[in-house]
Amino acid sequence: MKKWALLSAIYALLGSVYVPVSAQTYPWHENFDAGLGSEWENGRDAAHLTAPAPGNKPVPECEGGEISSAFCEDGVSRLLDAGGGDLVYYQENWAFGPACRALSGIRGTVGYPRSDGPVAIAELYIISAAPESGEANGAAAGVFGAWHRNQGTPGWGGAQNGAGTHVDACYAAPSTPGRLEGDLELGTHHWPGWKLTYVDGVRAPTNCTGDCPSLQASGGLREICRPGAGALSAPHPQGNKDTIADQVATGSWFQRWEIHPVSGGLMQFASTYDPVTDTANGGAGWVTIKDSTGTPIDTRNTGGGVGTADTVYLGFGGFKHFGMVQLWVHSLAIPVPVELAEWTLE
């Protein structure tokens, strides 16, 4: 029996103890091997999701043969084969300006009540080979996720596959829900090569230039997602290899986004995660993100100025690119049974 089939059965038995308000069953596991289901609405480049591409990163289609964010189509969202039918999600975006970026990626269609205390845990990866333009892919990644205030709806990223020129495609996007960076309830802005900023609830201005705490430059989340940046970083030096299988096998890490049942939230990361026992870093636990002064950021139930949306939705995309191997969602109201730590599952 599959691990998650067994876990789902156990949680179903717990239904007599607690029945979540959400239409989504806890826990939920997504590994993309069956393709994108009804739980997701993707942004641009929809056609590529029906036929997974080979296990290498996509190449942009650019006008006049010039590769830059001003002349390339907006970006791609694809399922790629990491080997043996193991599908992973990959999104790359060539737009730099805030009017155009974050229009490719995936948005969730299922609402999660804040009162459930939903927690998302994702295994992410980067491609260390140099991109067509701009900073190194790892440095330019930046994840606009995991929790948003708006539901994914068909066509949320605007014209599919780049209608007309790059600029035409950008401004064809609807205003709601629109760009993934525009409605973050818990996540980050910007990109690791410059800075990452913590977003919890409604922030102004959109780019978080003044009121979003900047994360520490080294020894934290910014380091773990940059190839060759330090002890925590993905092992491949910049430009070494770019096959999806290689990057997933040796360059992935885990992030955790916890929505507090009342307000605010918590973001953490780890090098390893065991979903059966719900343990990170070999039992050492999750590492909470820190601001630029080295102070842990924890906005759970801290009062005003933090997120209070009653319902949240999953959503993922990158400043320049983003890759996800798998995703788990569970509820603080239904902790993983301790007994599972004693079991050996086949």
pLDDT in tens, the chain (346 residues): 233 444 444 333 333 332 333 456 788 999 999 888 889 988 765 555 655 555 566 666 655 555 555 555 556 777 888 878 888 888 877 666 666 677 778 999 999 999 999 999 999 887 655 555 555 556 667 788 999 999 988 877 765 444 444 555 555 555 567 788 888 899 988 878 788 889 988 765 455 666 788 898 888 888 887 766 666 655 544 444 556 777 777 678 899 999 999 999 999 999 889 999 999 999 999 999 999 999 999 999 987 778 999 999 999 988 777 889 999 999 998 765 544 444 333 4
Stretch (H or E) spanning 170: helix 166-171
Count of alpha carbons within 13 Å of 77, Cβ hemisphere only?
28
**What confidence score (pLDDT) does residue 80 get?**
82
Contacts of 249 by beta carbon, 8 Å cutoff, 6+ apart: none
The full length of the chain comes to: 346
- Residue 276's Cβ-count burial label (10 Å; 0-12, 13-18, 19+) is middle
**What confidence score (pLDDT) does residue 107 get?**
92
Pairing of strands 28-30, 321-331: antiparallel
Instruction: With H, G, I as helix, E, B as strand and everything else as coil, classify residue 283.
Output: helix
**What confidence score (pLDDT) does residue 131 get?**
53
**What confidence score (pLDDT) does residue 62 get?**
58
Query: Tokens standing for 170?
Result: 């950008």
- Distance, CA of 76 to CA of 54 (rounded, Å): 14
**What confidence score (pLDDT) does residue 168 get?**
58
**What confidence score (pLDDT) does residue 241 get?**
53
- Distance, CA of 132 to CA of 60 (rounded, Å): 8
Closest CA to 95 of 36, 180, 177, 155: 180
**What confidence score (pLDDT) does residue 20 get?**
32
**What confidence score (pLDDT) does residue 313 get?**
96
In terms of residue numbers, what domain contains 234?
3-342
How many structural domains compose the chain?
Answer: 1
- Distance, CA of 112 to CA of 226 (rounded, Å): 31
pTM above 0.75, yes or no: yes
**What confidence score (pLDDT) does residue 341 get?**
40
- Distance, CA of 164 to CA of 167 (rounded, Å): 8
Q: ∠ CA(112), CA(153), CA(329), 5° rounding?
A: 30
Query: Tokens standing for 121?
Result: 């845990």
**What confidence score (pLDDT) does residue 212 get?**
83
- Distance, CA of 128 to CA of 185 (rounded, Å): 29
Longest dimension (CA), the chain: 62
**What confidence score (pLDDT) does residue 13 get?**
39
Closest CA to 122 of 337, 318, 334, 319: 318
Residue tagged 């906005």 (tokens): 299
| Residue 156 and residue 41 in contact, taking contact as beta carbons nearer than 8 Å | yes
**What confidence score (pLDDT) does residue 253 get?**
87
Q: Give, in order, the Cα–Cα distances in Å from 24 to each of 29, 72, 170, 171, 331.
A: 11, 38, 32, 33, 11
**What confidence score (pLDDT) does residue 143 get?**
86
| Residue 103 and residue 94 in contact, taking contact as beta carbons nearer than 8 Å | no
DSSP symbol at 13: H
Amino acid at 340: L
Contacts of 342 by beta carbon, 8 Å cutoff, 6+ apart: none
